[in-house]
Structure 1
Amino acid sequence: MNKNVFVGVDIGGTTVKLAFIDEIGTIQHKWEIKTAREEAGKYILRDVSESILTQAKELGFKKSQLLAVGVGAPGYIDVENGVIIEAVNLGWKNYPIQKELEDRLQLPAVIDNDANVAAAGEKWKGAGNGADNLLAITLGTGVGGGVIAGGEIVHGEIGMAGEIGHITSVKSGGASCNCGKTGCLETVASATGIARLAMESVHTKPQGYLKRILDEHGNVSAKDVFDGANQGDELSLSIVRDSTEHLGFAMANLANALNPEIIVIGGGVSRAGTLLVNYIRQSFDKYAIPLIAKSTTIKIATLGNDAGVIGAAWLAKQKSAH
């Protein structure tokens, strides 16, 4: 390989995705390794570093061709100092990830929250189309978010900007959230939240498509709800309307404050595609300032599982440019 590359690393609870990505954002090589979570995650960075060096050697990269490494990781991160304050599912607490990686690889390293990194990936090479003002929302097990303003990731005072999933959506009587509050957006708009709404609804109205699914499988998933909605099932449609009403309302308020050019929606729930966007759009247009509604595009993310490594490489590129 005769190209200079950035190393993109996306650390998840089960696997670590890695890639060598060139200066224009094209993946030259990607692979993944298992996340070694034993003993409070103390072997994760050792494995990551060894894997990077082994792959580089096998592919014929010289050490000088690896320019910098960018990392996306779950949890609360002190971006300024490259320290993970807490990543519960990895066992890390006050973990100096940047320093350890720089020591092991002898390369500049930069670290950010995985949702921010995915937002950067979509901005650089995905649905964001290079937009400098972008909001990214990930609808998965939880609801994650990243804010890019003026071409930079917004971190806020203690690095917690973009916690979109914890905007309060149900002011009283809402379901408990992992963050310790109740009624968060995550409890009604994540895959888990939509499934919960479905299970509650199907018990009060035990008929139709969702009841059949419940009888066959013993539970109902968010995918089942969207499948039912696509088939015109009334209960499924009412759950989709309820969930997207909350989502569109939160997104409109964020857009009124931040005025993004594009809002990108990713994560497992985004596979619902046009149906999801159309319902969000109705709610969004109702609550956004008309001029903002008119100038904001809502799109489904396009990078899938590559968003993290591409965004991590973008971070590394920004770091080496400064």
Structure 2
Amino acid sequence: MLKTEKPILGLDIGGTNIKAGVLIGSELTDIRMISTPSDESQEAILETIAGFIESFLHHGFFAIGIGIPGLIDTDNGIVLNLGNIPSFKKVLLKEFLEERFCKPVFINNDANCFALGEYKFGAAQVYQHVVGITLGTGLGAGIIVNGHLYCGFNCAAGEWCSAPYLDKDFEFYCSGKFFHWKYQAKAKSLSKKADQGDPIALEAYAEYGHHLGELIKNVLYTLAPQAIVLGGSIRKAYPFFKDSMEATIATFKYPSVSGNLKILISDLDETAIHGAVALVGEYAVPVEKIGIEVGGK
């Protein structure tokens, strides 16, 4: 588990809300949330983010880690695009915040932060090769290889959401979009009905589990991880899609790989913020300068 002697601020910036918390020791504290002014100008949104960060200055944090959806130029800290915030294109976020606060800033994709958070703080700490998959309104994934986050160019690694599958892509069949399209219902409402034994709801989740199993087979062919961590709101319905998912995974060509795969369900609160603060130890800040203990265990 990651532990630091000096506080680190972590932010999870989304199209609806911005959440933040401070890592002190190994504990995430002072977790707060504000609304994202997603319809405003880039300058107004940047000032909102800066104002939120200013409210945490009394903690004396040493560095800032940020998770944000979309493609990121991590070397330069540039947000290339953010789908739910129209004005957020080619945003020099790192440069803006480092000039404002004179502290190092590290930015990465939110799905990558989920995977890193689970590896440093959550269910995946005992594994070196991990894929984190978020199941919600959309589909996201992050990759840990040899104990380190792997992002690829512009954080585009692990974008299985856009990979062609059947007549559409994996996101369509492995996120909440599937339930809306096929059953004209939200995943959460179907989960409640499945809990009551509703046959249509149970059928919906069994079909969903098959599609998710096919996604996981693609992950296995690509990376052969030791563990896959499932996060996002749909993970709460895991008992309803577990059997069909496992049955599909069992058809994987190499049972020595699939038979040893561990499917983990995230139980870590604020995983994205945990992953955001872990970015500081993952990248260029020398550990001796901040007294940070790194490693997956």
TM above 0.5, one fold?
yes
Q: What SS does structure 2 have at the residue aligned with 1:282?
A: helix
Question: Which of the pair is proportionally richer in helix?
Answer: 1
Using CA pairs under 8 Å that are at least 6 residues apart, name the structure with larger relative contact order, 1 or 2. Answer: 2
Answer with 239-248 or 264-273: which moved more. Answer: 239-248
1:321/1:278 CA distance change after superposition, 3 Å = farther
Cα distance, 1:117 vs structure 2? 0.8
**Distance in 2 separating the partners of 1:43 and 1:321:** 33
Q: What SS does structure 2 have at the residue aligned with 1:107?
A: coil
**Distance in 2 separating the partners of 1:46 and 1:81:** 20
For these two proteins, the number of residue pairs brought into alignment is 282
Q: Structure 1 residue runs of 4+, over 4 Å off? A: none
2:69 corresponding residue in structure 1: 74
Cα distance, 1:279 vs structure 2? 2.6
Identity of aligned residues (%): 28
**Distance in 1 separating the partners of 2:56 and 2:97:** 16
1:21 corresponding residue in structure 2: 23
Query: In the TM superposition, what are the counterparts of 1:1-322 in structure 2 within 5 Å?
Result: 4-24=6-26, 26-57=27-58, 61-62=59-60, 66-90=61-85, 91-170=87-166, 174=167, 183-199=168-184, 220-287=185-252, 289-304=254-269, 306-319=270-283, 320-321=285-286
Alpha-carbon RMSD:
2.0
Counterpart code for 1:144 = G
**Distance in 1 separating the partners of 2:22 and 2:124:** 21
For the 8 Å contact 1:256–1:292, the answer to whether it is kept is no
Q: Deviations over 1:231-254 (max 9, x none)?
A: 443333332222221210120221
1:276/1:317 CA distance change after superposition, 3 Å = same
Counterpart code for 1:188 = Y
For the 8 Å contact 1:253–1:287, the answer to whether it is kept is no
1:49/1:158 CA distance change after superposition, 3 Å = closer
2:293 corresponding residue in structure 1: none
Answer with 259-268 or 235-244: which moved more. Answer: 235-244
For the 8 Å contact 1:191–1:268, the answer to whether it is kept is no
For structure 1, the residue ranges without an aligned partner over 5 or more in a row are 175-182, 200-219
**Distance in 1 separating the partners of 2:194 and 2:129:** 32
Cα distance, 1:23 vs structure 2? 4.5
Cα distance, 1:151 vs structure 2? 1.7
Query: Which one has a bigger Cα radius of gyration?
Result: 1
Cα distance, 1:265 vs structure 2? 0.8
Q: Deviations over 1:205-233 (max 9, x none)?
A: xxxxxxxxxxxxxxx22223333334443
Cα distance, 1:11 vs structure 2? 0.2
**Distance in 2 separating the partners of 1:22 and 1:43:** 30
For structure 2, the residue ranges without an aligned partner over 5 or more in a row are 288-297
Cα distance, 1:3 vs structure 2? 5.4
1:289/1:230 CA distance change after superposition, 3 Å = farther
Counterpart code for 1:268 = S
Answer with 124-133 or 306-315: which moved more. Answer: 124-133
Question: Which of the pair is proportionally richer in strand?
Answer: 2
